[in-house]
Amino acid sequence: MDKLVIRGEQKLHGTIRAGGAKNAALPTMAASLLTAEEVTLRNVPDVRDIQTTRKLLEAMGVETEGSGGHHRIAMQARHVTHAQADYELVKTMRASTLVLGPLLARTGKATVSLPGGCAIGARPIDLHLKGLERLGANLRQEHGYVIAEAERLQGNTYSFDRITVTGTEDVLMAAVLARGETVLRNCALEPEVVDLAALLVKMGAKIEGAGTPVIRVQGVDQLGGATHTIIADRIEAGTYVMAALITGGEIEVTHCQPEHLEALLERLEEAGAKIRRSASSIGVARGERLRAVDISTAEFPGFATDLQAQYMALMTQAEGTAVITETIFENRFMHALELSRMGANIRIEGNRAVVRGPAPLTGAAVLASDLRASASLVLAGLAAEGETIIDRIYHLDRGYEKLEEKLRGAGAAVRRLGRLIPVANQHSAGIA
């Protein structure tokens, strides 16, 4: 299993390019199921979750073309031969459930494994299911799978009980092919939802209000092909901004959309960072001192939960006490324990983490528990004295493309260790 080895205390400098947003690419790939024509996406990040989604679509009969390195993928669902998302894939990536709405709308039947629990919280999909029921789907559950059926979905009103990103995307994708008008209320405002809607409109869908709490859809009989460029990954960009700050360095993150990161950038400015925004890049440098600033995670345009772990690592190096409140997921503090092993002073009180800084960090062997927790350990490693070895970085590979190369390009001492084979086994592995 790959590990990352980081020798800390190297200041970052130069530029880092942000890639396309994983969480925008996943629903837009699922949208290819809605049409028999070709959907081409550009700026698709070459990360594990995209490869998993591609496998998932191919298993359903979707023809795909394009190589990860070119960040372009063409998908054509001429015929959906297998309207099912199997447990084997869903268990590795919850976002697989995004195929439910489009499959049901296109073929009248979808069988999707329920995802089960997750490292960061329970994460049920009950609100996706309720929305599809409102559009006329008959649902039943068998052997861990949900089976949804509807001859033709029928437009209706539906208010989400709480804001859900993939829930909004899933039900929106079903509504575009439903008969008549659908009005969705309390929708997620995330840029990834807006990006999905932009693709759907290019495909011929009639959608108004994406990016506001109320989305109105006039259903159409069929959709066509389209070409679309995915928005920049705001979480990746924010991670690199904080990586520069934690090392006391100065970098420019290019090919990003600063307006999607305002909540983070404003808190960082309060903390003393110097931030320069341009249309598509963010320049960041540490001011004299880094001060502790409280944050509370919230849906967009609030402080993203996907940046909370990285922010916690940064606050271990700020002067004073920062209270970090997690409101979206009930168990998203796993990184706090690993950060503490590196010397951080963090107390967890329910959904609040109290971080006292600055605490000198020292390199240690640590374990990544989920994608963003892994990123927070990378940041801590960059600031720590000595060597940090991060295990289970397959989590990182799900959502960060070439992280170690990008950081190395900005002056960090990071390397990847491939699978280590004990000497005793090297002979049988043909290495000795």
Catalytically active residues, by annotation: 118
Residues 197 to 256: which contact ligand EPU by CB under 6 A?
none
Could you say whether residue 117 binds ligand EPU (CB under 6 A)?
Answer: no
* Residues 177, 179, 180, 182, CA torsion sign: negative
Least distance CB 22 / ligand EPU (angstroms): 6
What character string, x for contact with ligand EPU (CB under 6 A) and - otherwise, covers 2-31? ---------------------x--x-----
Q: Which is nearer to ligand EPU, 159 or 345 (CB)?
A: 159
Name the strand (E) or helix (H) holding 415: strand 413-417
Region of residue 411 (left: phi > 0; alpha: psi -120 to 50; beta: else):
left
C-alpha distances in angstroms, 303 versus 190, 192, 294, 313?
11, 15, 11, 15
Residues 50 to 89: which contact ligand EPU by CB under 6 A?
none
The structure tokens listed for 157 are: 């009103």
Q: Which is nearer to ligand EPU, 68 or 124 (CB)?
A: 124
Point out which span in 63-71, 118-126, 193-201, 419-427 binds ligand EPU (CB under 6 A): 118-126
Q: Which is nearer to ligand EPU, 2 or 299 (CB)?
A: 299
Least distance CB 299 / ligand EPU (angstroms): 7
* Residues 321, 327, 329, 330, CA torsion sign: positive
Out of 233, 306, 397, 404, the residue judged to bind ligand EPU by CB under 6 A: 306
Beta strands in 301-358 (DSSP E): 320-325, 345-349, 352-357
Could you say whether residue 121 binds ligand EPU (CB under 6 A)?
Answer: yes
C-alpha distances in angstroms, 28 versus 24, 182, 229, 262?
6, 20, 10, 24
Point out which span in 126-134, 194-202, 348-356, 379-387 binds ligand EPU (CB under 6 A): 126-134
Residue closest to 39 by CA, chosen among 65, 59, 19: 65
Could you say whether residue 45 binds ligand EPU (CB under 6 A)?
Answer: no
Least distance CB 182 / ligand EPU (angstroms): 18
Could you say whether residue 329 binds ligand EPU (CB under 6 A)?
Answer: yes
Q: Which is nearer to ligand EPU, 233 or 252 (CB)?
A: 233
Point out which span in 123-131, 202-210, 246-254, 346-354 binds ligand EPU (CB under 6 A): 123-131
Could you say whether residue 401 binds ligand EPU (CB under 6 A)?
Answer: no
Is-cis flag, bond preceding 213, omega within 30?
A: no
DSSP string, 40-81: EEES----HHHHHHHHHHHHTT-EEE--GGGTEEEEE-SS-S
Least distance CB 38 / ligand EPU (angstroms): 23
Q: Which is nearer to ligand EPU, 47 or 364 (CB)?
A: 47
CB 2 within 8 A of CB 392: no
What character string, x for contact with ligand EPU (CB under 6 A) and - otherwise, covers 358-387? -------------xx---------------
Out of 54, 71, 106, 128, the residue judged to bind ligand EPU by CB under 6 A: 128
CB 105 within 8 A of CB 34: yes
Out of 165, 174, 196, 282, the residue judged to bind ligand EPU by CB under 6 A: 165
In whole angstroms, give the CA distance from residue 325 to residue 311. 11
Q: Which is nearer to ligand EPU, 169 or 404 (CB)?
A: 169
User: If DSSP codes are grouped into helix, strand and coil, which group holds residue 399?
Assistant: coil
Beta strands in 145-280 (DSSP E): 145-149, 157-159, 181-185, 206-208, 215-218, 226-229, 250-254, 273-277
Instruction: Tell the residue number behind the tokens 């439910």, with chain if given.
Output: 100
Q: Which is nearer to ligand EPU, 328 or 344 (CB)?
A: 328
Least distance CB 328 / ligand EPU (angstroms): 5
DSSP string, 78-137: SS-S--EE-HHHHTT-GGGGGGHHHHHHHHSEEEEE----BTTB----HHHHHHHHHTT-
Instruction: Count other C-beta atoms under 10 Å from residue 430's C-beta.
Output: 6
Point out which span in 104-112, 119-127, 135-143, 274-282 binds ligand EPU (CB under 6 A): 119-127
What character string, x for contact with ligand EPU (CB under 6 A) and - otherwise, covers 269-298? ------------------------------
3-state secondary structure string across 249-260: CEEEEECCCHHH
Out of 205, 328, 403, 412, the residue judged to bind ligand EPU by CB under 6 A: 328
Could you say whether residue 126 binds ligand EPU (CB under 6 A)?
Answer: yes
Give how many residues touch ligand EPU by CB under 6 A: 24
Residues that bind ligand EPU (CB under 6 A): 23, 26, 95, 121-128, 162, 164-167, 192, 305-306, 328-329, 371-372, 399
